[in-house]
A and B are shown apart, each in its own frame.
Chain A
């Protein structure tokens, strides 16, 4: 028996041997949680792999994986890897046109997709993708009359026949796998240019998974909810890498809209979410709290004040006065416990956030009600594994210490450089990019500007290439300003401009949920986003937010010059379908600046109102024109206080 545990298929077989009855995967189907044990998963993967083999899938080939988090899509990744193939998960919400590039770039011949929606997109892309021959689907609904596509059930049935006809073949394929083989190719979201395929090996992801599991003592008894896009490196690390290293249980939600409910039902012990998700959860709670009776509201307010005062300290194990401790204990009984339960976080031991900066209030809120929320730092090229915050050393403005086996240093221009077993093998078919991103000593250039503080914690300031200078030479870190703005619940997105200019101006997107609710409580009528965004009351609301961050910036040394002088609220939400955001919802700064050049001119040209018309593209490819007259607001700025002598 093969005792090596250096590829994912071998890890799967290992779990099937050691803990055959332990739940490996759950999915809510027809309202009931279905469970597959490790031995059942091993059997399912075997059937999928043999089916692919029967249809001609061979070593080194790429298998596209497209859909929401479904067990059989996770298993498909293992099936491809068992045959020495490479899984290529893709963002499921992209339109067909976007798939064409990636499918061609990865020379996809086989695609395992979720449902009719994805099959339609594959068939639409197929004429432009010469290699694409085999399309398999999980959910047969609406696909009865489709030709030349095949269901997973049929695929697995063919696989079982193939397996019987070729005894020992499957095991021999797994035995051929090497730890340095590429296991997965993840496409970077492409803030700049076309997406690049990042080739990561079994060894890299297993190292990252093992490092994380040891660091946080994750075992097979843990349980997580797998609800983030499968094409995202974070999900691949948590729901795949660590899943197979630790042997815990992944739970697939019923649908994208039921995640809140599913979270409560499962009660995971380990949880990962970008700040946006934590923010949405909090907003939901706050909106419900405002509708609650006065006694409940009073209790909530009182004990949240207690939690703010001492909750985070109690979680970090710091000394706290006995009176506060008693109050906190009572609060835990009456408010925090029930609240954690509503959030589905009663059993959480460790929660991580990453992908973007998290607001101070948000971060403190979760920690103060006893949820061990921590930050981590990493990118696709490093298996999302560079820095982790150790328990008891959680700081808001840092992303933690270098993780085990990671070698980190700060290079020229403050750029963060890392080296370790988790690095990418290469960018697929892009040797120039590969050479550019890894220096002679084997350090990967993260492209983030950061610094190490006295305790050895890494603090990220901005993207190295985004850090610019104002006309007077002062540092201009747009992300830093935008994040400050986005920490207000009313502001969903912000884009700051200022490089080579004399002052900073910004575009704002309001948060429809939060501002909509605010307007409703004030009896302010509106017809939609465009209308609401241009209400004088809303503009005043946003101006207050801007002025508040200006006051903060005034006290932050060199950044005092980055106060936002003028701003406008955009007439539409920035959207990945219009190429304004990446699929991971990061602003494509250059594109936005070009597209809305006329608005920037208006901001800097001193105009009070500017007319704009924009073409909006819907998910199904239809388009529509949105036009509006945008009012430009001037915000109060403050004299710099506490400016350090240069």
Chain B
């Protein structure tokens, strides 16, 4: 019923021959792949394959020793987190990184941080631009709250929420930044079946409604195969597969990596 033809467009992110090492430990070795506009791109692999490192390279937390990153035509050796955020890349974290004592609403508002132009003094006396901005930002945040169906916890401190909902709040904060690319680090880890289904639906809805490009890391093969357009498979820091879910499923190297191989 739902259409899976998405409007995959031009390549907006290309990683070429990326290698990353921590001292003697090689986290990523000579990895190249690209991400097209509006697609859902999954990175999968066994534990320690380098998935999170890959994501950290994309948004500039790690700086690779070799290789180049081309984002929207601009080629660089590495990104940095501020520049990444300013250029429309938002992310969520494997271990939820929210302000536990703050309400859901306030947490999501922090996602609008980069959109606020008024200065500290203007905000303190709450006039003119500061007031307008706050109203405008609040409206955007309310749209996200509505979109992710978390109206009932708007005023609840995040620390009191169950894990599945916290994950949703984190997604909400990332969405509030109106990103053009969203990096999701294991959005469904530790969730039960129902929460996973909800999350899948939200990821697809976000992609459909806002055309947001998604790069997601996921453990659950079923989930990945259902919702992604293309999949990159990593194993011990190397790329062993790349293609549509069907292609990857048929790839012998991938099967070996996941199911083990007789030596």
Residue of B nearest to A29 (CB): B146
Contact B142 A145 (CB under 8 A): no
What residues of chain B lie closer than 8 Å to A32, measured between beta carbons? 142
**Chain B hits for A141, CB < 8 A:** 147, 205, 209
Taking the complex as formed, is A261 at the interface, i.e. its CB lies under 8 A from any CB of chain B?
A: yes
Interface hit among B43-51, B84-92, B148-156, B244-252: B148-156
Assess the B208–A257 pair: CB atoms within 8 A.
Answer: no
Evaluate contact between B152 and A257: CB separation under 8 angstroms. yes
User: B208 touching A145 by the CB < 8 A rule?
Assistant: yes
A interface residues, how many (CB within 8 angstroms) = 18
Tell me if B139 and A30 are in contact (CB < 8 A): yes
Minimum C-beta distance from B138 to chain A (A)? 8
**What are some 11 contacts across the A-B interface (CB < 8 A)?**
A30-B139, A123-B1, A142-B205, A142-B208, A142-B209, A145-B3, A146-B1, A257-B151, A257-B152, A258-B151, A620-B197
Residues in B with CB closer than 8 Å to A192 are: none
In the complex, besides A30-B142, A32-B142, 19 extra interface pairs with C-beta distance below 8 angstroms are A29-B146, A30-B139, A30-B145, A31-B138, A31-B142, A31-B151, A31-B154, A120-B1, A123-B1, A141-B147, A142-B204, A144-B209, A145-B208, A255-B149, A255-B151, A257-B152, A258-B151, A258-B152, A261-B155
Q: How far is the CA of A31 from the CA of B201 in the complex (A)?
A: 23
Main secondary structure of the interface of A (DSSP, over half): loop
A30 vs B1: C-alpha distance when bound (angstroms): 28
User: Which residues from A are CB-within-8-Å of B154?
Assistant: 31
User: What is the bound-complex CA distance between A124 and B147, given in angstroms?
Assistant: 24
Residue pair B208, A144 in contact (C-beta under 8 Å): yes
A22-65, CB < 8 A from B: 29-32
Chain B 193-216, CB-CB to A under 8 Å as 1, else 0, gives 000010001001100110000000
Q: Which residues of A contact B146 (CB under 8 A)?
A: 29-30
B residues within 8 A CB of A120?
Answer: 1
Q: Which of B1-25 contact A (CB under 8 A)?
A: 1-3
A493 at the binding interface (Cβ < 8 Å): no
Say if the beta carbon of B143 comes within 8 Å of chain A: yes
A261 contact from B142, B145, B152, B197, Cβ within 8 A = B152
> In the complex, which residues of chain B have a beta carbon less than 8 angstroms from the beta carbon of A146?
1
Contacts of B145 in A (CB 8 A): 30-31
Q: When chains A and B are docked, how far (Å) is the Cα of A124 from the Cα of B1?
A: 9
Complex interface bits, A114-125 against B, C-beta within 8 A gives 1, otherwise 0:
000000100110
Q: For the complex, what is the distance from the CA of A258 to the CA of B143, rounded to whole Å? A: 16
Beta-carbon contacts under 8 Å, A114-164 to B: 120, 123-124, 141-142, 144-146
A254 within 8 A of B: yes
User: Which residue on A lies nearest to B208, using beta carbons?
Assistant: A144
How far apart sit A620 and B205, CA to CA, in the bound complex (Å)?
A: 18
- Categorize the interface residue count of chain B: 20 to 34
Tell me the smallest distance from the CB of A325 to a CB of chain B, in Å: 38
On chain B, the residues within 8 Å of A144 by CB distance are 208-209
Distance, CA A30 to CA B142, complexed state (A)? 5
For the complex, give the distance between the alpha carbons of A620 and B194 in Å: 10
Q: Mark A538-571, 1 if CB is under 8 A from B, else 0.
A: 0000000000000000000000000000000000
**Chain B nearest Cβ from A61, distance in angstroms:** 26
CA distance A145 to B209 in the complex (A): 10
Task: Report yes or no: A255 in contact with B209, Cβ–Cβ below 8 A.
Answer: no
Chain A nearest Cβ from B193, distance in angstroms: 8
* Interchain nearest-CB distance for A557 vs B (Å): 48
A255–B209 alpha-carbon span in the complex (Å): 21
Q: How far is the CA of A124 from the CA of B154 in the complex (A)?
A: 33
- Which chain A residue has the least Cβ–Cβ distance from B145? A31
Nearest-CB residue, chain B, relative to A120 = B1
Shortest distance from the beta carbon of A621 to any chain B beta carbon, whole Å: 12
Q: Provide the bound-state CA to CA distance between A620 and B138, in Å.
A: 34
List residues of chain A with CB within 8 A of the CB of B139: 30
A258 to B146, CA, bound (A): 12
Distance (whole angstroms) from the CB of B145 to the closest CB of chain A: 7
CA of A146 to CA of B208, assembled, Å? 12
How many Å lie between the Cα of A30 and that of B152 in the bound state? 12
Contacts of A124 in B (CB 8 A): 1
Contact present for A30 and B208 (CB under 8 Å):
no
Q: Name the A residues within 8 Å of B149 (CB-CB).
A: 255
Q: Specify the chain B residue showing the minimal Cβ separation from A30.
A: B142
B residues 116-143 touching A (CB-CB < 8 Å): 138-139, 142-143
- Docked CA distance A32–B146 (Å): 12
**Minimum C-beta distance from B33 to chain A (A):** 27
Nearest residue, chain A, Cβ from B5: A145
Among candidates B143, B197, B209, residue contacting A30 with C-beta atoms closer than 8 Å: B143
A residues near B3, Cβ cutoff 8 Å: 145
The closest CB in chain A to the CB of B154 belongs to A31
A124 and B149 alpha carbons, distance in the complex (Å): 24
**Complex Cα gap A457–B201 (Å):** 53
State in angstroms the CA–CA spacing of A31 and B197 once bound together.
26
Given contacts A30-B142, A31-B142, A31-B145, contact A145 B151 (CB under 8 A): no
Task: Name the residue on A nearest B3 (C-beta).
Answer: A145
Question: Bound state CA distance, A183 and B146, in angstroms?
Answer: 34
B interface footprint on A581-605 (CB within 8 Å = 1, 0 otherwise): 0000000000000000000000000
Find the A residue at minimum CB distance from B201.
A142
Q: Which B-chain residue is minimally distant from A123 (CB atoms)?
A: B1
> Cβ of A620: which chain B residues have Cβ within 8 Å of it?
197
Residues of the B chain whose Cβ atoms lie less than 8 Å from the Cβ of A29:
146
| Minimal beta-carbon separation of B171 from chain A (angstroms) | 15
Does the CB pair B152–A145 fall under 8 Å? no
- Output the least CB separation between A122 and chain B (Å): 11
Residues of A close to B151: CB separation below 8 A: 31, 254-255, 257-258
Q: List residues 238-255 of chain A with CB under 8 A from any CB of chain B.
A: 254-255
Bound CA span A29–B155, Å: 16
User: Which of A29, A141, A620 has most B Cβ within 10 Å?
Assistant: A141
The 5 closest A-B CB pairs, nearest first, are A257-B152, A30-B142, A145-B3, A31-B142, A258-B152
- List, in ascending order, chain A residues with CB within 8 A of B201's CB: 142
- The 0/1 profile, CB within 8 Å of B marked 1, for residues 243-275 of chain A is 000000000001101100100000000000000
CA distance A145 to B3 in the complex (A): 7
Contacts of B1 in A (CB 8 A): 120, 123-124, 146
Which residues of chain B are within 8 angstroms of A145 by Cβ–Cβ distance?
2-3, 208
Q: How far is the CA of A620 from the CA of B145 in the complex (A)?
A: 24
Closest to B141 in A: A31
Distance in angstroms between the alpha carbons of A123 and B1 in the assembled complex? 8
CA distance A634 to B151 in the complex (A): 46
By beta carbon, the residue of chain A nearest B152 is: A257
Determine the chain A residues whose CB is within 8 A of the CB of B205 once the complex forms: 141-142
- Of residues A29, A145, A620, which shows the largest number of chain B Cβ atoms within 10 Å of its Cβ? A145
Q: Which residues of B contact A255 (CB under 8 A)?
A: 149, 151-152
Identify the closest chain A residue to B105 (Cβ). Answer: A31
Shortest B2–chain A CB gap in Å is 7
B197 contacts across to A, CB distance below 8 A: 620
Q: Nearest Cβ distance between residue B227 and chain A, in whole angstroms? A: 14
A254 to B201, CA, bound (A): 21
- List the B residue with the shortest CB-CB distance to A624: B193
For A142, the closest partner residue in chain B by CB is B205
